[in-house]
A = this chain, B = another copy of it.
Amino acid sequence: MIIVLRPDATSSQIDHIVEKTKEKGLTPFVTRGVERTIVGLIGDERILAAWDLENIPGVEKVLAVLKPFKLASLDFNPERTKIKIGRVIIGDTQVVVIAGPCAVESESQIIETAQKVKEAGAHMLRGGAFKPRTSPYSFQGLAEEGLKYLAKAREETGLPFVTEVMDTRDVALVNEYADVVQIGARNMQNFALLKEAGKYPRPVLLKRGLSNTMEELLMSAEYIMSEGNMQVMLCERGIRTFEKATRNTLDISAIPVLKDMTHLPIIVDPSHGGGKWKWVAPLSKAAIAAGCDGLIIEVHPNPEEAVSDGSQSLRPDKFQKVMEELKVIAEAIGRRL
């Protein structure tokens, strides 16, 4: 950590800073430049997380040298994490496709969809039993009933499933049913939920918040991991920008940049990323080409009648066509679907 002092910082202010940093167990070294004096600190700057250096008189700004996350860092663990779910391995050469409806609406709907996406080549099923909806007047999900239908669909098709949890009180329940527990974008910094999910064994699919940086995403992964659950996969699902032509702006650069920062696998959600079914194919191809480890795609047997996110859901026949296109891209970069 580097502390840049104000041009008018006094000697006694500098002495105070030097003393304080020593108290915290760090080794300070002072360098006087032409326009500014700086104090460098040797030691693990993360122990300063709770200490606001910028508030000390004479300080102009503080520059971090180290990243604030550890368990999630590629420096800390240079071997890439692989997550095994049944016969599926996420983070290996295969690009894993998770598909299904936004919300579980009925037993027949989810079973039918599961069969269709399996036929098309999907490796896992998705479906929401607890739905985060902007409006309290929108469909809120079937709760445990939905989880039961998902388990039924898994039984029928063999597809493991991922489903979202929104309430700390439901984490145990969702862990009982699901193969992977999803924490949604709106809960990316619901720290109580992150900690709770970290106490249970199921792998977690953690979605990036609408306006969260990659560093914050990794800090949230760190919350889960610091409770003991190391099986975290990160999901880029579009960020919020000024652009209005798409629901969100899919941050495709997050794939290589995160790969450079962390050993955790990266999943991309092209359905929320673009917000319209017709952008799913090009965005999925782009995501595979950029190196993602998996995709999570919304498929609905009858999008027009979907209770949520119908306009970004693919029909099963279109999904099948997309899968064929994706296979070619995966192979072109030496992976497989």
Contacts and interface: CB of A to CB of B under 8 A. Distances in A.
Task: Tell me which of A132, A252, A285 has the highest count of chain B C-beta atoms within 10 A of its own C-beta.
Answer: A252
Contacts of A68: 134-135
Interface stretch (A87-95, A145-153, A238-246): A238-246
B255 A63 contact: no
B42 A253 contact: no
B255 A132 contact: no
Contacts of A325: 333
A239 B249 contact: yes
A283 interface: yes
A291 B281 CA distance: 10
A12 interface: no
18 contacts: A7-B75, A35-B75, A49-B137, A50-B307, A55-B277, A55-B310, A135-B219, A135-B222, A136-B191, A136-B226, A213-B244, A241-B242, A242-B242, A252-B252, A253-B273, A285-B290, A286-B287, A329-B332
Interface of A: 2, 4, 7, 29, 31-36, 38, 40, 42-44, 46, 49-56, 63, 65-66, 68-69, 75, 130, 132-140, 166-169, 186-187, 189-193, 195, 209-211, 213-216, 219, 222-223, 226, 239-246, 249-253, 255-257, 260-261, 273-274, 276-279, 282-283, 285-291, 303-311, 313, 325, 328-329, 331-333
